[in-house]
Amino acid sequence: MFEDEKIDFIQSIPEGDSLLVIWVRLLTLAGKCNESGYIFLAETIPYTEEALSYKFKKSVNVVKLALLTFQNLNMIETNQKGIHLMNWRKHQSLDVLDKIREKEQARVRKQIQRE
């Protein structure tokens, strides 16, 4: 991660350390959501800048700066579904995440059958 040109650039700008922390937190959050690089508060509720500010314990202005910077560097995109981390495959082991998703879906199906 730290050999990446974009990360070097981010570290060189004001608030760069905070932006880098936010990037790592976004990667972690996307892994937790396990939806191909999308992050959301709940399945149908995308994160807002304010919600990310609260979650990451950073000011709204720093979160806005981070998201704008990441968007300008083509690290994220936003759409109706929410914030999407570009090149997600580069950052994660998708085979492992796919197995986790399949296991969770099987667990839910089994639970529904019991009810």
- Give dist(CA 93, CA 90) in Å, integer: 8
Quick: pLDDT tens for 59-95: 999 999 999 999 999 999 998 888 999 987 766 655 6
**Percentage of the chain modeled with pLDDT above 70:** 90
Quick: pLDDT tens for 38-54: 999 888 888 999 999 99
Note down the domain range covering 96: 5-114
- Give dist(CA 8, CA 13) in Å, integer: 9
Domains in the chain, number: 1
Is residue 96 within 8 Å of residue 103, measured between CB atoms?
A: no
| Distant-in-sequence contacts of 76-81, Cβ < 8 A, 24+ apart | 76/26, 81/38, 81/40, 81/46
**For residue 1, pLDDT beyond 60:** no
> Which segments of 31-80 are extended strands (E)?
38-42, 45-46, 76-79
Q: What is the CATH number for 34?
A: 1.10.10.10
